[in-house]
Amino acid sequence: MYTLRSTLTSPFGRKVRLGAAVLGLTDQITMVPGDTMDANDSLRTQNPLGKLPTLLLEDGTAIYDSWVILEFLQEQAGSEALLPRSGQARYTKLTQAKLVDGVGEAALLMMYEARFREPEQMSRRWLDHQRGKVERGLAVLEANPPALALDLVGIGLICVMGYLDWRKPLAWRPNHPKLVAWYDEMRAKFPQIDATAVPEHA
């Protein structure tokens, strides 16, 4: 049994929840919410970075971040469903997945700019810098949408799109019709996607 420090709203935590569903490990994971803003939350002793998600093994060992947790769970499941174990295909998938994760991290930083700074302190330059990463990344993905698969790339992109729809750091839908179609097809194909979505009133 594993303990997952996460929330239902964390996009990176959702990556782990979706990956666990694909690997058939959902029943082995109990989620314990973490508050990244609470200095007294044990999260900061489990993971000095104080970030969600963090996976705790039965002996207390902590595994982070989402990427490492997914690799760990895949190995536990004896599967290659998320990422090929070796060969060129592994590195192609890893690079695509890093692009997707980078888009998600830039979107998160755009939101954090508003969360951590007073309105008059917010840097337009910094926001534009992060927005550039999101826009360039999405443009590349729009030109060549990933396979309709819940692997590391598909999982990551679903979580990024869910986050963009929820927090709305920018409007991504009007300029990315192929990605919108990809998202809709993925949701129709894999019920785990809506099952792990941010709850309606979060």
Ligand X SMILES: N[C@@H](CCC(=O)N[C@@H](CS)C(=O)NCC(=O)O)C(=O)O
Which residues are at the interface with ligand X (CB under 6 A)? Answer: 10-12, 36, 50-53, 65-67, 108
Which tokens belong to 50? 């104080």
Q: Which residues pair with 54 in a beta bridge?
A: 5
β-pair partners for 63: 55
Nearest to 53 by CA among 21, 17, 12: 12
CB of 6 to ligand X, least distance (A): 8
Cβ nearer to ligand X, comparing 65 with 151: 65
Query: Rounded to the nearest whole angstrom, what is the least distance from the CB of residue 178 to ligand X in the complex?
Result: 25
> Within 10 Å of residue 44's Cβ, how many Cβ atoms?
15
Kindly tell me which of 145 and 162 has the beta carbon lying closer to ligand X.
162
Between 76 and 175, name the residue whose CB sits nearer to ligand X. Answer: 76
CB of 80 to ligand X, least distance (A): 20
Q: Which is nearer to ligand X, 12 or 182 (CB)?
A: 12
| Angle at the Cα of 52 from the Cα atoms of 55 and 114, rounded to 5 degrees | 175
Strand 29-32 relative to strand 2-5: parallel, antiparallel, unpaired? parallel
- Residue 169 CB, nearest distance to ligand X (Å)? 13
Task: Kindly state the smallest distance separating residue 10's Cβ from ligand X, in Å.
Answer: 4
- The tokens describing 199, both together, are 């709850």
Pick the closer one to ligand X by CB: 41 or 80: 41
* Residue whose C-beta lies closest to ligand X: 65
Q: What number of other Cβ atoms are within 10 A of residue 202's Cβ?
A: 9
CA separation for the pair 138, 132 (Å, rounded): 10
